[in-house]
Chains A and B, each alone.
Chain A
Amino acid sequence: MAVTHTERAATPLDTFPRLLLNHAATRGDRPATREKYLGIWQTWNWSQVAGEVRAIASGLAELGFKRGDNLAIIGDNRPRLYWSMCAAQMLGGVPVPMYQDAVAAEMAFVLTDGEIRFAIVEDQEQVDKLLEIKDQCPSLQHILYDDPRGMRHYTQTYLQGLDEVVAMGRIHDKNQPDFIPSEVALGSAEDVAVMLYTSGTTGKPKGVCLTHGTFIAAATSGVDFDHLTEQEDILSYLPMAWVGDHLFSYAQALVAGFTINCPESGDTVMTDLREIGPTYYFAPPRVFENLLTTVMIRMEDAGALKRNMFHYFMAVAKRCGSDILDAKPNVSTADRLLYALGNVLIYGPLRNVLGMSRIRVAYTAGAAIGPDLFRFYRSIGVNLKQLYGATETCAAVCLQPDREIKFDSVGKPAPGVEVKIADNGEVLVRGKLLLKEYYRRPKDTAEAIDAEGWFHTGDAGFFDDDGHLKIIDRAKDVGKLADGAIFAPNYIENKLKFFQYIKEAVCFGHDRDMVCAFINIDVGAVGNWAERRGLPYSGYTDLAAKSEVLELIRECVEQVNADLSHDVMVAETQVHRFLILHKELDPDDDELTRTRKVRRGFVAEKYQVLIDALYTGKTSQFIETQVKFEDGRSGMVSADLAICEVKTFPVMKKAA
């Protein structure tokens, strides 16, 4: 490194490239990035990473990438894609990570909207997508690919392997060793560090511009809050375009100097998780849900002895596990002993299977997590906490402090963040972690941030007596039943989704006299259930239409109703009728966002005929739907859907 200690001490560490160079100088031998390749974990230490990043940056500069340019990054979590982000920042450019499973048309929108000239992509698959839409994106001039496999016959001159660019960059860097340091010196904390596109639950995606200063402040507050050190290991497997991954795998890794580990492929995450044993972990609720479902399926298949042991000790854990984790004094000695035994027999091995043996802190965010799901992980000794935030706030607004965990709140405002509730129940945020602007959308920016600097999150919530924030739902989703009772669809859906058999649920009820629901079954869990009962089925549609499955789901919904009836606030919103959809809701069909949140309005419109059937008292309804396959072709799915009535319960007074 050409930069010496004295020079660095003079410049504050207020941009990501400066942080990187600092790590290279102060802890150059510590592992920075690992990736499993050919079955072996390959490690790059901080000084190697700094060298790679310099090479990529020099190569990009050689190709004409300059201050102010935007660099699209598309692919799975590969080390070189993370490094490319920093390389773009070194040159004063802005990385724009994009969802790798987006279809070509969606990419075209972001590429045009972000006026992107350079794209670094993972492999042939992504290159093909870009070539398909290149004509629609006049600004796109260079496409670089990380993995050369299958690329030998592409002759387009604007296509280049990252290997060549890096080789070119190394020569360039050697000839002009002062170029990169001088570019880094030009950077300032006020520069936009990254542009993340919102998932678009609310219309077209918008580019959220976040500055170095903002993101470093957000990352630092998280690092201090949980006392993260350079010793942490995390597994980076979430989409790079998601603000959560950017915060944990990029910003916090650079602030704290810990190690990120890239899985071998998307399918090996479970194995890789066990091998790495991360100490710090972050996942949206869906991942925790899937993990739990896998465990539950395997337990159902286990022998009677193991199964009974599991259920016995899980009951113990449910009773006292989270209190023990929170170091509360009110646990009896007998329970403590039982829990210790359970820890040896069940919880420890279970944590090991889940790859969570070493976890100090785990976070979940991105959507509300079902309290039961949350309780499960805490009760087996995983310090799972919730955080609340949005792309516009660098993900971190509220965090749950250690030992102050409430299952239904998202915690207290992070240090340096102000939160208040507007009159309509909307959560407002102010502080230094707010976005600079929406890219080229001053009107949207003005709408989102009011004159006093409050950012309108669009979520409805309230503070409880201890100052913990509770999020009920998206502000615009919260409605009222015809009789005036508050209807929070997400709240009910999350309760439904906690059942392993239910993958997705969509509830309706605004301005109606009762609540009705669409259900997606979980093919894995229900399929396993069906197999054990000797029920033959050919696929999702067939399985979903079985009367036995309908009965199974009805029992689940009934339990949710019983649960809802205990809470006066929501007792009126028990589910009266439901149906099981004939296809899985899919982002390719625009029914879910890329982060897999339901696009409620779209779904309601698309399946209007089903909603009508639910509310007009029909017992079945025929539907035919077009579906898109991953390769862009489409086909039709049709089915006769049975509509099921569910028992509801009288409102009960809350006991104690």
Chain B
Amino acid sequence: MSGRKIGEVILDLKNITLRFGGVTALEDISFDVREHEVRAIIGPNGAGKSSMLNVINGVYRPQEGDIILRGEHHANMDSYGAAKAGLARTFQNIALFKGMSVLDNIMTGRNLKMKANLLQQAVWFGPAQREELEHREKVEEIIDFLEIQHIRKTPVGRLPYGLQKRVDLARALAMEPQILLLDEPMAGMNVEEKQDMSRFILDVNDQFGTTVVLIEHDMGVVMDISDRVVVLDYGKKIGDGTPDEVRANPDVISAYLGASH
């Protein structure tokens, strides 16, 4: 268990430009993420936050710019490569298998780490069984960590939204990622659920030393839990710094926080 001491730059995004036909979603955006920090991306609707995340984990390929992950250039990152490189993410609209149990959903997060081949898994006894037990243990630790023991066997589709979000996080954690990308982890939650989620995110960051990049709308949450914040507006970066710095930045105030602040 590594301590939470903010380290070197682990992920560096340089001059990223992403276009969809004539629409420029991201324009010349550069920022970096340091090891073990909680880094937030904020901005109004349509600012390009989710696109930014999609660029990081290889869903979209930017037309220009460079992604440097631990010193290696990944200009042509794809999702498989991103997952291999230790990036895991959760989705704004929850991407879980609704008909499968919580446990099975989280087990899917271990997929990349399973070594048994199809044949071995079909026979199951022997190596595949041993391997599954190991993975199950890891998954149980995550279940314990996120306090979802009581819904272990419940199909995800039957759970309330807040718990589904937690399961989504559990699935991402099952990959034992170095960098966790969270797309609006607290959207649509009530105050208590947001508090719980914030605590879990901080715990993950603290306990496992996982670097967290998150998109969030709730300014209170963002300012509370992030170390540094980058602000996007219409695909451009308009602010970058600690929550206090961002809060004091006049561009940010006019674009996002509103004039009264």
> Which residue on chain A has the smallest CB distance to residue B136?
A39
Contact with B along A131-150 (1 / 0, CB 8 A): 00000000000000000011
| Extra pairs beyond A152-B207, A268-B150 (16, CB < 8 Å) | A37-B144, A38-B137, A38-B140, A38-B141, A39-B140, A39-B149, A39-B152, A149-B203, A149-B207, A152-B3, A264-B150, A265-B149, A265-B150, A267-B149, A271-B150, A631-B195
List of B residues within 8 angstroms of A39 by Cβ: 136, 140, 143, 149, 152
Within 8 A of A (CB), among B60-93: none
Nearest CB of A to B222, in Å: 20
Within 8 A of A (CB), among B132-170: 136-137, 140-141, 143-145, 147, 149-150, 152-153
Asked if B144 and A150 sit within 8 Å, CB to CB, the answer is no
Asked if B149 and A268 sit within 8 Å, CB to CB, the answer is yes
B27 adjacent to chain A (CB < 8 Å): no
Within 8 A of B (CB), among A512-537: none
In the bound complex, how far is the Cα of B140 from the Cα of A264, in angstroms?
12
Q: Which one of B141, B150, B153, B206 contacts A152 once the chains associate, using CB atoms below 8 Å?
A: B206
7 example contacts (A-B, Cβ-Cβ < 8 A) are as follows A38-B143, A39-B149, A39-B152, A40-B140, A150-B206, A153-B206, A267-B150
List of A residues within 8 angstroms of B203 by Cβ: 149-150
Asked if B150 and A38 sit within 8 Å, CB to CB, the answer is no
List of A residues within 8 angstroms of B207 by Cβ: 149-150, 152
List of B residues within 8 angstroms of A153 by Cβ: 206
Asked if B144 and A38 sit within 8 Å, CB to CB, the answer is yes
List of A residues within 8 angstroms of B149 by Cβ: 39, 264-265, 267-268
In the bound complex, how far is the Cα of B138 from the Cα of A38, in angstroms?
9
Total number of B residues with any Cβ neighbor in A under 8 Å: 17
List of B residues within 8 angstroms of A631 by Cβ: 195
List of A residues within 8 angstroms of B140 by Cβ: 38-40
In the bound complex, how far is the Cα of B109 from the Cα of A115, in angstroms?
50
Contact with B along A451-479 (1 / 0, CB 8 A): 00000000000000000000000000000
Number of inter-chain CB pairs below 8 Å: 34
Nearest CB of A to B199, in Å: 8
List of A residues within 8 angstroms of B143 by Cβ: 38-39
Give the top 6 A-B pairs by smallest Cβ distance, nearest first.
A267-B150, A38-B140, A268-B150, A39-B140, A264-B149, A268-B149
Within 8 A of B (CB), among A603-656: 631
> Which residue on chain A has the smallest CB distance to residue B140?
A38
Nearest CB of A to B147, in Å: 7
List of A residues within 8 angstroms of B153 by Cβ: 271
Nearest CB of B to A82, in Å: 20
> Which residue on chain B has the smallest CB distance to residue A38?
B140
> Which residue on chain A has the smallest CB distance to residue B202?
A150
Nearest CB of B to A336, in Å: 38
Within 8 A of B (CB), among A34-53: 37-40
Total number of A residues with any Cβ neighbor in B under 8 Å: 14
> Which residue on chain A has the smallest CB distance to residue B138?
A38
> Which residue on chain B has the smallest CB distance to residue A39?
B140
Nearest CB of A to B214, in Å: 19
Within 8 A of B (CB), among A200-230: none
In the bound complex, how far is the Cα of B145 from the Cα of A540, in angstroms?
31
Asked if B147 and A265 sit within 8 Å, CB to CB, the answer is yes
> Which residue on chain B has the smallest CB distance to residue A271?
B150
List of B residues within 8 angstroms of A152 by Cβ: 3, 206-207
In the bound complex, how far is the Cα of B194 from the Cα of A631, in angstroms?
13
> Which residue on chain A has the smallest CB distance to residue B151?
A267
Contact with A along B122-140 (1 / 0, CB 8 A): 0000000000000011001
List of A residues within 8 angstroms of B150 by Cβ: 264-265, 267-268, 271
Nearest CB of B to A263, in Å: 9
In the bound complex, how far is the Cα of B142 from the Cα of A149, in angstroms?
13
In the bound complex, how far is the Cα of B147 from the Cα of A271, in angstroms?
15
Nearest CB of B to A637, in Å: 15
Contact with A along B188-232 (1 / 0, CB 8 A): 000000010000000100110000000000000000000000000
Nearest CB of B to A79, in Å: 16
List of B residues within 8 angstroms of A265 by Cβ: 147, 149-150
> Which residue on chain A has the smallest CB distance to residue B103?
A39
Nearest CB of B to A15, in Å: 36
In the bound complex, how far is the Cα of B151 from the Cα of A271, in angstroms?
10
In the bound complex, how far is the Cα of B152 from the Cα of A88, in angstroms?
36
Nearest CB of A to B40, in Å: 21
List of A residues within 8 angstroms of B195 by Cβ: 631
In the bound complex, how far is the Cα of B3 from the Cα of A265, in angstroms?
28
In the bound complex, how far is the Cα of B203 from the Cα of A40, in angstroms?
24
In the bound complex, how far is the Cα of B137 from the Cα of A38, in angstroms?
7
Nearest CB of A to B126, in Å: 22
> Which residue on chain B has the smallest CB distance to residue A629?
B192
In the bound complex, how far is the Cα of B103 from the Cα of A128, in angstroms?
31
In the bound complex, how far is the Cα of B208 from the Cα of A150, in angstroms?
11
List of B residues within 8 angstroms of A267 by Cβ: 149-150
> Which residue on chain B has the smallest CB distance to residue A269?
B150
Nearest CB of B to A163, in Å: 14
Contact with B along A250-293 (1 / 0, CB 8 A): 00000000000000110110010000000000000000000000
List of B residues within 8 angstroms of A40 by Cβ: 140
> Which residue on chain B has the smallest CB distance to residue A153?
B206
Nearest CB of B to A237, in Å: 13
> Which residue on chain B has the smallest CB distance to residue A266?
B150
Within 8 A of B (CB), among A345-383: none
> Which residue on chain B has the smallest CB distance to residue A270?
B150
In the bound complex, how far is the Cα of B224 from the Cα of A379, in angstroms?
56
In the bound complex, how far is the Cα of B152 from the Cα of A264, in angstroms?
12
List of B residues within 8 angstroms of A37 by Cβ: 144
B3, B137, B150: residue with the most chain A Cβ atoms closer than 10 Å:
B150
Nearest CB of B to A7, in Å: 42
List of B residues within 8 angstroms of A264 by Cβ: 149-150
Nearest CB of B to A221, in Å: 37
List of A residues within 8 angstroms of B137 by Cβ: 38
B144, B147, B203: residue with the most chain A Cβ atoms closer than 10 Å:
B144
Contact with A along B1-23 (1 / 0, CB 8 A): 00100000000000000000000
In the bound complex, how far is the Cα of B143 from the Cα of A37, in angstroms?
11
Nearest CB of A to B261, in Å: 23
Contact with B along A536-550 (1 / 0, CB 8 A): 000000000000000
Nearest CB of B to A91, in Å: 32
In the bound complex, how far is the Cα of B166 from the Cα of A267, in angstroms?
16
A37, A38, A153: residue with the most chain B Cβ atoms closer than 10 Å:
A38
List of A residues within 8 angstroms of B144 by Cβ: 37-38
Contact with B along A149-167 (1 / 0, CB 8 A): 1101100000000000000
> Which residue on chain A has the smallest CB distance to residue B191?
A629
> Which residue on chain B has the smallest CB distance to residue A631?
B195
Nearest CB of A to B207, in Å: 7
In the bound complex, how far is the Cα of B206 from the Cα of A265, in angstroms?
23
List of A residues within 8 angstroms of B147 by Cβ: 265
In the bound complex, how far is the Cα of B95 from the Cα of A559, in angstroms?
49
In the bound complex, how far is the Cα of B144 from the Cα of A268, in angstroms?
12
List of B residues within 8 angstroms of A38 by Cβ: 137, 140-141, 143-144
In the bound complex, how far is the Cα of B1 from the Cα of A150, in angstroms?
12
In the bound complex, how far is the Cα of B151 from the Cα of A265, in angstroms?
11
In the bound complex, how far is the Cα of B152 from the Cα of A40, in angstroms?
13
Nearest CB of B to A627, in Å: 13
Nearest CB of A to B68, in Å: 31
Nearest CB of B to A54, in Å: 28
List of A residues within 8 angstroms of B152 by Cβ: 39
Within 8 A of B (CB), among A405-459: none
Nearest CB of B to A170, in Å: 23
B140, B147, B149: residue with the most chain A Cβ atoms closer than 10 Å:
B149
Contact with B along A336-348 (1 / 0, CB 8 A): 0000000000000
> Which residue on chain A has the smallest CB distance to residue B147?
A265
> Which residue on chain B has the smallest CB distance to residue A40?
B140
List of B residues within 8 angstroms of A268 by Cβ: 149-150
> Which residue on chain B has the smallest CB distance to residue A150?
B203
List of B residues within 8 angstroms of A150 by Cβ: 203, 206-207
Nearest CB of B to A294, in Å: 14
